[in-house]
């Protein structure tokens, strides 16, 4: 999780002690070393419109959790649809009501939840998926780099052996126009050199075959709102 940075700090960063160790924080709140790349709200709306194989209608009594909530962009987008969503992260980014805990620590008891939805730290995405697949009652949705599907090497510790072999996603939805992602801030337009996809497990049906699909290039212009970038 959080770790010390051993090279000299630039003036823009302030070194602080956190619950999980020493971290470096910019004045705008960006935390170096914690994969702090906020999710544009339109990308979460795209999950509900183009990815989920369950029709999440308003009024459904479902509890969501985002255990890597950051500043709460994904949490607020889930809540705008009328769902409860528990917010937490390993670092306090100032999201009102968010708990500070380590989702990878199985010793931390969590409230029961139906759907885990998150943009996890890439290096810990497998740990997030494993816990969520064990605990979520309805489904698991993770926004990660598309290359995460490769499974990786490492024998029994590879993503393939730990997740994909026995519990493959129900659907992988690739952003056909790359999602803008910038450290510490939601941004409308930004050069992006990595592809992102939603990985979705529908636990209400047997896991077996994975469907690959695409989120259309017009999704951003269709689903974004001016206030998303305020």
Q: What is the pLDDT of residue 15?
A: 63
Q: Residue 23 domain-assigned?
A: no
Q: What is the pLDDT of residue 3?
A: 38
Q: Residue 29 domain-assigned?
A: no
The H-or-E segment that residue 85 falls in is strand 84-89
Task: Give me the CATH number covering residue 41.
Answer: 3.40.50.150
Q: How many domains, the chain?
A: 1
Q: How far apart are CA 100 and CA 177, in angstroms?
A: 33
Q: Residue 108 domain-assigned?
A: yes
Q: How far apart are CA 229 and CA 199, in angstroms?
A: 25
User: What does each C-alpha distance from 99 to 52, 66, 67, 127 come to in angstroms?
Assistant: 27, 11, 9, 19
Q: How far apart are CA 130 and CA 117, in angstroms?
A: 13
Q: Residue 74: which domain range?
A: 35-229
Q: How far apart are CA 189 and CA 224, in angstroms?
A: 12
Please identify every stretch of the chain with a pLDDT value under 50, giving residue numbers as ranges.
Answer: 1-11
Q: How far apart are CA 75 and CA 213, in angstroms?
A: 24
Q: What is the pLDDT of residue 11?
A: 44
Nearest partner of 78 among 48, 113, 52, judged by Cα = 48
Q: What is the pLDDT of residue 31?
A: 64
Q: Residue 1 domain-assigned?
A: no
Q: What is the pLDDT of residue 4?
A: 36
Secondary structure tally for the chain: helices H, strands E? 5, 11
Nearest partner of 177 among 144, 143, 220, 228, judged by Cα = 220
Whole-prediction pTM: 0.85
Q: How far apart are CA 141 and CA 143, in angstroms?
A: 7
Q: Residue 166 domain-assigned?
A: yes
Q: What is the pLDDT of residue 120?
A: 95
Q: What is the pLDDT of residue 190?
A: 78
Give 173-219 as a DSSP string: EEESSPPP-BTTB--SS----S-EEEEEEETTS-----EEEEE-TTH
Q: What is the pLDDT of residue 185?
A: 78
Q: DSSP assignment, residue 139?
A: E
Q: Residue 146 domain-assigned?
A: yes
Q: Residue 4 domain-assigned?
A: no
Q: Residue 62 domain-assigned?
A: yes
């Amino acid at each position: 999780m959080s770790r010390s940075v051993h090279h000299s700090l630039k003036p823009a960063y302030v070194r602080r002690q956190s619950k999980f160790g020493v971290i470096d924080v910019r004045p705008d709140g960006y935390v170096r070393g914690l994969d702090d790349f906020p999710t544009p709200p339109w990308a979460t709306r795209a999950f509900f419109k183009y990815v989920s194989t369950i029709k999440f209608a308003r009024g459904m009594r479902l509890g969501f959790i985002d255990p890597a909530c950051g500043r709460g962009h994904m949490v607020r987008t889930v809540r705008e649809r009328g769902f409860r969503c528990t917010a937490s992260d390993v670092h306090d980014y100032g999201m009102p009501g968010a708990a500070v805990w380590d989702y990878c620590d199985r010793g931390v008891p969590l409230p029961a939840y139906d759907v885990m939805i998150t943009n996890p730290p890439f290096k810990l995405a497998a740990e997030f998926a494993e816990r969520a697949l064990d605990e979520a009652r309805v489904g698991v949705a993770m926004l990660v780099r598309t290359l995460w599907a490769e499974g990786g090497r490492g024998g029994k510790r590879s993503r393939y052996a730990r997740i994909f072999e026995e519990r493959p996603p129900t659907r992988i939805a690739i952003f056909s126009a790359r999602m803008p992602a910038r450290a510490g801030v939601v941004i409308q337009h930004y050069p992006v050199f990595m592809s992102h996809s939603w990985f979705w497990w529908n636990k209400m049906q047997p896991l077996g075959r994975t469907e690959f699909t695409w989120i259309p290039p017009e999704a951003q212009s269709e689903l974004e709102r001016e206030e998303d970038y305020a």
